[in-house]
Structure 1
Amino acid sequence: MATTESSPDLSPKAQTILDAAESLFVRYGYRKSSMDDVAREAGIAKGTVYLYYAGKEALFRALLERTGANVLRASTTAAHAPLPFEDRLFGVLNAFYGYFYERFSDSGHLQELGEIRGSLGQDLTEQLRQNHLQILIDLLARADAAGEVGLGQRGLTPHDVAATLIAAASGAKVMLLPGAGLKAYADALKRTSHVFAAALSPNA
C-alpha cells in the first residue's frame, strides 16, 4: 500500500477518513465499499464520518481534491528544485504519473475507478491535468530563458513540448511488462526525461 500524504487544509480525522476510503476503493472498488466500511476501516463512528462527508460521492470527490493538491504541490516543488533541467523534468513527471502508479497500479478495480472518476469528478480531473500541464509549460519556458534548452531555435513552443512529454509519459506506462513495479515505471520516466533533455539541449 502506498504511503499516504497529509494535506495541510484537512484535519487529522478527515485525513484518516480519506485514507480509509482510498484503501477500500483500491482493494474492493467504489461500488462494493460502503460508508459503513469506511467507518470501520477508519475506526471512527459512522455518524462522525457523515459529519465530514455527506455521502460516498462527496467522499470520492474529496479524495480527488486531496490527490490533486498533493500532486500539484509535489510537481511545483520539483519544478523549482535547484537541480539540472533533466532532473527537474523527471521530478515533475514522476510527481504526477509516479504518484498515481504507486497508489493504483496494483488495484483490480482500475477500470471501475476510472469510470467513477469520469462521472463524479471529471471537472476535478481535467483541472488537475491542466494545472500539471501548466507547471510543465512554465518549467520549459524558464529553462529556455536560462539557456538550458533551445526551443526557439527549433521552432518549438513550451506548450508543444509539454503536451508531447505528457503523451510520452503516459505511453511509457503502456509499454511496461505486466506486473512491473514502481521502480520500472520511474526508470521509464527517467529515460523519457533524459531523451527530451538531450534532444532539447542548445548544443544538440
Structure 2
Amino acid sequence: MADRTADVLDATQRCLLRYGVRRTTMDDIAAETGVSRSAVYQYVRGKDDAVRRLTERLHGAALEHARAAANADAPLAERVHGILAAKVELTSGPFAESPHAAELLDEQARLNGDICRRFTGDLHGILTATLTGAHLRDPADTAHILLATTIGLLAARRTDLVPRAATAVLHGMHSKHLEGEQL
C-alpha cells in the first residue's frame, strides 16, 4: 500500500481553507482525498493530528526557504529579504484568499499555535545568526524589529513593502562607524 500521507495533508489543507478548522470533519478530508474515512485513519490519528501535521509541513517548508536564503552567496540585505520572504510565503497563494488561513498560521491558535510560535522563534534565530558579524549594534534586537515589521505589514496586507522596510531597518541599525560597508 502506498503512503498517501501527503495526499491526506493536501486534502486537509483544501478543506481547512474552505471550511475552517472547526467545521472541517474527517468525512470532509476523506471525501477530498477520495478514500474512505477509515482509510484516512491509516495516515493520521484524527482531524487534530492532520491539522498539526499540515501546520508542521507548511512551516517546515518555509524554514527550509529561510535557511537557504540565509546561506545564499548574496549581500546581507538580499539574504534578509529572502529570510523574511519565508514568513510572507505562508500567507500567500491559497492562504491569501481564505478567511480561514489564520487558523493555520496564528500563534494564538489552540491547536497549533505552538508550532507557529516555534517557527517565529526559529526564524528569529536564523535572522540573528545572519545578522551576527554584520556590525550591527544588536543583531537579536534587529531580528525582532525585522520580524515585527514584517508581521505588521502582513496584517496590513502590504507584503510589497517588506523588502523596503527591511532595508530601512538594516540601515537604521547599522553601526555608524561602518557607514561605508556594503549591506
TMscore range, shorter length: 0.7 to 0.9
- 2:154 alignment partner, one of 173, 183, 193: 173
Q: Is the 8 A contact 1:85 1:197 kept in 2?
A: no
- Would you say how many aligned residue pairs link Structure 1 and Structure 2? 176
Equivalent position of 1:59 in the other structure: 50
**Separation in 2, partners of 1:95, 1:133:** 12
**Separation in 2, partners of 1:194, 1:116:** 26
Q: Does 1:188 align with 2:161?
A: yes
Distance 1:99 1:121, change over 3 A: closer
Shift of 1:175: 3.3
Distance 1:197 1:104, change over 3 A: same
**Separation in 2, partners of 1:90, 1:102:** 19
Q: Does 1:90 align with 2:90?
A: no
Equivalent position of 1:180 in the other structure: none
Shift of 1:131: 0.9
Letter in 2 for 1:160: D
Q: Does 1:131 align with 2:107?
A: no
Q: Is the 8 A contact 2:107 2:114 kept in 1?
A: no
Equivalent position of 2:109 in the other structure: 118
- 1:28 alignment partner, one of 19, 44, 61: 19
Q: Is the 8 A contact 1:35 1:56 kept in 2?
A: yes
TM-score norm. by structure 1 comes to: 0.77
Distance 1:189 1:162, change over 3 A: same
TM-score norm. by structure 2 comes to: 0.85
Gaps of 5+ in 2: none
Q: Secondary structure of the equivalent of 1:31?
A: coil
Q: Does 1:40 align with 2:31?
A: yes
Distance 1:125 1:190, change over 3 A: same
**Separation in 1, partners of 2:17, 2:62:** 18
Shift of 1:193: 2.4
What is the root-mean-square deviation in Å for CA atoms of aligned residues? 2.3
